[in-house]
Structure 1
Amino acid sequence: MQDPVDLTVKPEVEGFFDPDTHTISYVVKDPASNACAIVDSVMDIDYAAGRISTDHADRIIAFVRSRGLAVEWLIETHVHADHLSAAPYIQRELGGRLGIGRNITVVQETFGKIFNEGTEFQRDGSQFDRLFDDGDTYTVGTMKGTALHTPGHTPACMTHVMGDAAFVGDTLFMPDGGSARADFPGGDAEKLYDSIQKVLALPGATRLFMCHDYGPGGREIRWETTVADERAHNIHVGGGRTKAEFVRFRTERDATLAMPRLILPSLQVNMKAGQLPQEEQNGKRYLKVPLNGL
């Protein structure tokens, strides 16, 4: 595969931080046209009240409209376990095609069983408009995008490269944040290490954009770094840490972590491309809680 990074193409990237889930969504504009992609959008949920709202998504929609942009792609870097996707809502408002990694089918098979979805739930990824394989390309206006398979956090994780910018999902955090957990069903610390090395093999000047930031040590929220900075300073993989060291550290650390607050609603919704459950006879929608864990 040719180098997916074109350092001469510098897309305009606007980040939208959601403080409730510490998620950053992105509008990525082709520098040569008004075309754009939206990466990892968020639908708001008050879980205790069972209330869905669209404040975060509406900020993105207002920005796109104010700039006169045309949405060509809605990209999910993976099936998120900590927030609901707003992609279907934004797609209804602005258009665009919805894409995710082909291994969404693995996630659907796993969690379709966990949530007892039955035979009516299609486990072939057909809820999405495009399933990306490793190295697949697409266009945003005149700008080429490339999907890189970077599993480990989940089997379906992809890093999307557009021009000199790469959107890494949960494969990496900022250098002082390290890396994401690898203990969800289908996660694998060895694969995560290999995926991180794949990202770090990109040109050093490649801009990297995180899906999450938690402000370690109380610093302000940040979401942009570079490959060179991650290589040198990432606290989990920088400075030549070996795979064995990383796997031992990641496994021990993951064993101490609680499940994400929104994992149950997020997985049910996101494995279906962000579609909420169907209304029942009383006109209400319901999410399931499998007792005694996943």
Structure 2
Amino acid sequence: MPAQPHVEAYFDPATFTVSYVVHDPATLQAAIIDPVLDFSSRNARTSTKSADKLLGYVHTKGLKLKWLLETHAHADHLSASHYLRDRTGAPVVIGAHITDVQKVFTSLFEAEDVAADGSQFDRLVNDGDTLPLGEFEIRVLHTPGHTPACVTYLIGDAAFVGDTLFMPDYGTARSDFPGGSAEVLYRSIRKILALPGDTRMFVGHDYLPEGRHDFRWETSVAEQNAGNVHINKGVSKGEFVAMRRARDAQLEAPLLILPSLQVNIRAGALPPPTANGHVYLRLPVNSI
């Protein structure tokens, strides 16, 4: 198997999200990971500016887009997968446990158009599944804890971990969302950190910790094992769980959690318009 796919990162400063275009240099087959649909909470307007940058790169490089990969149902940004699927025909992939997430949030939002069976997505994947990408395989690791549906995509020497891990100086994902678990998150992280030390790791967000002034999103398994501030090799399960629970108790809900989840359980599609032709996102009061 070839060692290194080419990885191009796109950072969205509005949501601190990193989207990726990864491709096989030999065949030019490509996948997009965690694309962002721009959303203004001031006036509920959407834009495809960020997603169009990804498409522009794909077209400029002559890539053949084969997959749209979601690491989980994001609570901090709206997904552009539906828009990109409409533009390219590439199928949308997510972890099979998205159904657990849908069951919670279809009820909260009274999303009667959403069947909680994952059918809004084109491919549901489980631990150990593989997808072809030119001369590479995309290997799926089920890595829940942040959400039940979280997966890591391993492509050659590159692991795309979503929100499970951040840069070593920032730490790890919260585990207080519905279906989240600090104990499960610990096991998932240890599973990722058992990969070879030189595995390149690409994180889903970067938030500048105190003392750092540049955004970063690439690290390695060895760097995480040596120095992650939450879960380096010297941290026990009990220590991690106690830290994570205490930290989560102090965190506010993400700014875009309510609009994001309504869209992301629909694979990036907006809710259907009502009889007056308008599309509405619901804001359940005192519910989260």
**TM-score, normalised with respect to structure 2:** 0.98
Given the alignment of the two structures, is residue 220 of structure 1 paired with residue 204 of structure 2, yes or no? no
Question: Secondary structure of 1:156's match?
Answer: coil
Q: 1:189 offset after TM fit, Å?
A: 0.3
Q: Structure 1: any 5+ residue segments left out of the alignment?
A: 1-5
- Asked if the contact 1:70–1:94 (Cα under 8 Å) also holds between the matched residues in 2, the reply is no
Q: 1:115 offset after TM fit, Å?
A: 1.2
2:227 equivalent among 233, 238, 242 = 233
1:163 equivalent among 156, 164, 172 = 156
Q: 1:280 offset after TM fit, Å?
A: 1.5
Q: Deviations over 1:244-274 (max 9, x none)?
A: 0000000000000000000000001001101
In structure 1, how many angstroms separate the alpha carbons of the residues matched to 2:168 and 2:152? 17
Q: Deviations over 1:104-151 (max 9, x none)?
A: 000000111111223x42110001110001010011122101010000
Q: Give the corresponding residue for 1:17.
A: 11
Amino acid at match of 1:131: L
Percent identity, aligned pairs only, is: 54
Q: Deviations over 1:27-71 (max 9, x none)?
A: 001122111000000000001201011110011111111011111
Q: Give the corresponding residue for 1:188.
A: 181
Q: Deviations over 1:222-247 (max 9, x none)?
A: 00000000000000001320000000
1:154 equivalent among 147, 155, 169 = 147
Correspondence list, 1:38-49, <5 A? 38-49=32-43
Question: Secondary structure of 1:37's match?
Answer: strand
**TM-score, normalised with respect to structure 1:** 0.96
Question: Secondary structure of 1:238's match?
Answer: coil
Q: Give the corresponding residue for 2:78.
A: 84
**The 10-residue stretch of structure 1 (8-17 or 71-80) with the greater mean CA deviation from structure 2:** 8-17
- Asked if the contact 1:9–1:31 (Cα under 8 Å) also holds between the matched residues in 2, the reply is no
In structure 2, how many angstroms separate the alpha carbons of the residues matched to 1:251 and 1:177? 16
Q: Give the corresponding residue for 1:254.
A: 248
Q: Give the corresponding residue for 2:124.
A: 131
Question: Secondary structure of 2:55's match?
Answer: helix
Question: Secondary structure of 1:240's match?
Answer: coil
Q: Give the corresponding residue for 2:266.
A: 272
Question: Secondary structure of 2:25's match?
Answer: coil
1:200 equivalent among 193, 203, 210 = 193
Amino acid at match of 1:70: K
Q: Structure 2: any 5+ residue segments left out of the alignment?
A: none
In structure 1, how many angstroms separate the alpha carbons of the residues matched to 2:79 and 2:111? 19
Correspondence list, 1:51-66, <5 A? 51-66=45-60
